[in-house]
Amino acid sequence: MKIGVPKEIKNNENRVGMTPAGVYELTKNNHEVFVQKDAGFGSGFFDEDYEQVGATVLDTIEEVYTAADMIVKVKEPIAEEYPLIKSHHVVFTYFHFASSEPLTRAMLNSEAVCIAYETVEDEDGSLPLLTPMSEVAGRMAIQQGAKYLEKPIKGRGVLLGGVPGVPPGKVLVLGAGIVGIQAAKMAAGLGAHVTIMDINMKQLRYVNDVMPNHVVTEFSSEFNIRKRIKDHDLIIGGVLIKGAKAPKLITRDMLKDMRPGTVVVDVAVDQGGCMETTKATTHEDPTYIIDDVVHYCVANMPGAVPYTSTLALTNVTLPYVLRLANQGWEVACAKDASLRKGLNIVKGKIVYEEIAQAFNWSVDAM
Ligand SMILES: NC(=O)c1ccc[n+]([C@@H]2O[C@H](COP(=O)([O-])OP(=O)(O)OC[C@H]3O[C@@H](n4cnc5c(N)ncnc54)[C@H](O)[C@@H]3O)[C@@H](O)[C@H]2O)c1
């Protein structure tokens, strides 16, 4: 198969859909790979690295789309990319269709096969191609939170780990899933006092078993959250109710109960956020302040650490890319139930019901 790896053109997106290691595996299996010039540059991979393992480097995005049958990338196509996608293409990437009607219409019109990373689902309901990005975001949340707690950037002026003779800072983590556990682990590593909340007792039991004693679990309820926000310096929002908007656990009136300079990193912003005052921000302008509370609400946190994120993402996507290339999308999806769940749009039809529901469209009418 002919596989194309275009350079990401979304603002501040430095990840790339395939590393030289991935190209190596594909060329070993007799596939041809076309990589756009400088596609890997932001993630630390040079054109020569790709050429050495058998890829052909092409100057323009148009050449890559023209040469390839399957496109492997990271972010959803943006408007400039819509006309490049044709009916013979299989596109394997994050799509998040439910949040963009123009993208959905464009991909329907293209008659391409769109397989979305975010809906590939294992038997136990876990989302293997989303997990590594949650791991990155959870760990990064503490790094960012610690920075914004510094006084010159309007934080409380607290060092999370404290020093001998001075108690450490306090971190409240809402949600003990992938983001929450990684955040708690990082905060605990810095020596902070950590409270982690969830409504799922199984998760809290697991955290209680594996974390050190300065990570305390507490059941998530409005009463408990109201109590804890009064004396915690850094709050991490890592809740998720699958397929739904995040619950608003921190309402506007609660901000006045927090101390000035408290920092909230709402990682759940991509699902609407778990604070009433959350609005999405970018890496260029990541924070805003309401009632003296610093809000960090960047919707694509992993994009800031592309060296790590590209490897974390491609580690999990490559086995699926190989299956799609070796077997073709129809056989690969027929044989693999997890991959089949990734099928969102096939040749002008929505095949993932939740997307049609998001726009109140009838699937049959498509
Ligand atoms: N901003 C970013 O760049 C970025 C990157 C990766 C993930 N995310 C987002 O982070 C969020 C969390 O992702 P995840 O992979 O950790 O999900 P997850 O499913 O692993 O964990 C979510 C946890 O929230 C818990 N929860 C649900 N309702 C709750 C409540 N009322 N109180 C406390 N806990 C509650 C669930 O029981 C679950 O344990 C998602 O919205 C995800 O899309 C954002």
The response to whether residue 267 sits with its C-beta less than 6 Å from ligand 1 reads yes
pLDDT at 32: 98
Q: How far apart are CA 37 and CA 330, in angstroms?
A: 30
Rounded distance from Cα 298 to ligand 1 centre (Å): 15
**CATH code assigned to 131-304:** 3.40.50.720
pLDDT at 362: 77
Query: Whose Cα sits closest to atom 24 in ligand 1?
Result: 239
Q: Active-site residue numbers?
A: 96, 270
Q: Is 246 annotated as a binding residue?
A: no
The response to whether residue 199 sits with its C-beta less than 6 Å from ligand 1 reads yes
Q: How far apart are CA 260 and CA 250, in angstroms?
A: 16
- Asked whether the domain spanning 131-304 has the same topology as the one spanning 2-120+306-358, the reply is yes
Q: Is 75 annotated as a binding residue?
A: yes
pTM score of the predicted model: 0.89
In the 3-class helix/strand/coil scheme, how is 277-338 assigned residue by residue?
Answer: CCCCECCCCCEEEECCEEEECECCHHHHCHHHHHHHHHHHHHHHHHHHHHHCHHHHHHHCHH
Q: May I ask the CATH class of domain 2-120+306-358?
A: alpha beta
The response to whether residue 175 sits with its C-beta less than 6 Å from ligand 1 reads yes
Q: Which atom of ligand 1 is nearest to the CA of 299?
A: 1
Rounded distance from Cα 165 to ligand 1 centre (Å): 35
- Listed by start position, the domains of the chain span 2-120+306-358, 131-304
Reduce the DSSP state of residue 228 to 3 states and report it: helix
Which of 118, 179, 197, 281 most suits a substitution to test ligand 1, by most atoms within 8 Å of the C-beta? 179
Which of 135, 251, 267 most suits a substitution to test ligand 1, by most atoms within 8 Å of the C-beta? 267
Q: Is 210 annotated as a binding residue?
A: no
**Tokens matching residue 327:** 């077997």
The response to whether residue 312 sits with its C-beta less than 6 Å from ligand 1 reads no
Q: Would you write out the chain's pLDDT as a tens digit for each of its 366 residues?
A: 999 999 999 878 899 999 999 999 999 999 999 999 999 999 999 999 999 999 999 999 999 999 999 999 999 999 999 999 999 999 999 998 887 899 999 999 999 999 999 999 999 989 999 999 999 999 999 999 999 999 999 999 999 999 999 999 999 999 999 999 999 999 999 999 999 999 999 999 999 999 999 999 999 999 999 999 999 999 999 999 876 678 999 999 999 999 999 999 999 998 889 999 999 999 999 999 999 999 999 988 999 999 999 999 999 999 999 999 999 999 999 999 999 999 999 999 999 998 998 888 876 545
The DSSP string of 155-169 is S----TT-BTTBPPP
Q: Is 301 annotated as a binding residue?
A: yes
